[in-house]
Chains A and B, each alone.
Chain A
């Protein structure tokens, strides 16, 4: 996949390039220290993927996205956690990486990239054909229900519950039962939104209503929180 890096910080560009070295399918063809030069480049070249910094002087990453008529897939890189929700407003945004980026987190982001340069099958079709029950693209999660790919809007999911060999996905408008495991779906979900709080539950932390000692209230569901996961949950919260 032909890719470019747009980041005003040379250290950040060097790190992204290093992270890409371990991913065979990504080829960095150019790098830019400002959005304007990147736009000029894209007027004459096509790429499959952009690693884009949000905070850049004069022209931010979001400004840059808005100039693109047919944006390729974009992985946002930033030192700021506060823009995650804004970022996923854009369909082309595959993932949102908070610096410093680890190899492990980078690998998760790369796993979400749709392979545009090598074929016509979608990432979801590819994943399902390989026996996976779920596949994530940007804001969408595709689940395999009765041999149909059903799309779920990820931010609408508020809780996922393990039920034997199945998982129950509860979303704003509907519930879905899928033959899969919590571990598999956890890998597909954006980690800044979702957290495993119990061996049988993953929650969307933005949907929490209130928290008691060992449980959280999400919508009208009381979800248990195990002692081991409580610390991470508390760290995620914006406590006064």
Chain B
């Protein structure tokens, strides 16, 4: 899967020109995302896949906030895979997380 490019379309639409809200939401994403990523990786290392699925579920919302449609569809499938304890998409999901992390650093 080719990675899609993050964007702020949804945030801009929600803000309707409210710069304070945009800055506030981006700050939250920058704060929450690294913690969630770390928690996800830790759960994978511990092979605690139900917990991993819960982390993917939460991260999934951030993926959608940043307009990553393909990545979002991927995350839906991956979450289900984790729930059935047969994860095979971890490496690709890590790339998605990396993609988001790099984008957040540019804001």
Q: Any chain A CB within 8 A of the CB of B41? A: no
Task: Tell me what chain A mostly uses at the interface: helix, strand, loop, or mixed.
Answer: loop
Q: Any chain B CB within 8 A of the CB of A153? A: no
**Complex Cα gap A184–B21 (Å):** 34
Chain A-chain B contacts (Cβ-Cβ < 8 Å), number: 49
Most buried by B among A9, A99, A100: A100
Return the contact of B61 from the options A19, A57, A99 (Cβ within 8 A).
A99
Q: Are B18 and A18 in contact (CB under 8 A)?
A: yes
What number of A residues sit within 8 Å (CB to CB) of B? 18
Q: Any chain A CB within 8 A of the CB of B8? A: no
- Kindly identify, within residues 43 to 79 of chain A, every residue whose CB is under 8 Å from any CB belonging to chain B: 55, 57, 79
**Complex Cα gap A80–B62 (Å):** 14
Task: Tell me what chain B mostly uses at the interface: helix, strand, loop, or mixed.
Answer: helix
**Complex Cα gap A12–B60 (Å):** 12
| Residues of chain B at the chain A interface (Cβ within 8 Å) | 10, 13-16, 18, 21, 24-25, 28-29, 31-32, 54, 57-58, 60-62, 64-65
| Residues of chain A at the chain B interface (Cβ within 8 Å) | 8-12, 14-15, 18-19, 22, 55, 57, 79-80, 99-100, 102-103
21 contacts across the A-B interface (CB closer than 8 A): A8-B58, A9-B32, A9-B61, A10-B32, A11-B28, A11-B61, A11-B62, A12-B61, A14-B24, A14-B25, A14-B28, A15-B65, A18-B14, A55-B58, A79-B64, A80-B57, A100-B10, A100-B65, A102-B13, A103-B13, A103-B16
The 3 closest A-B pairs by CB, nearest first: A100-B64, A11-B28, A10-B28
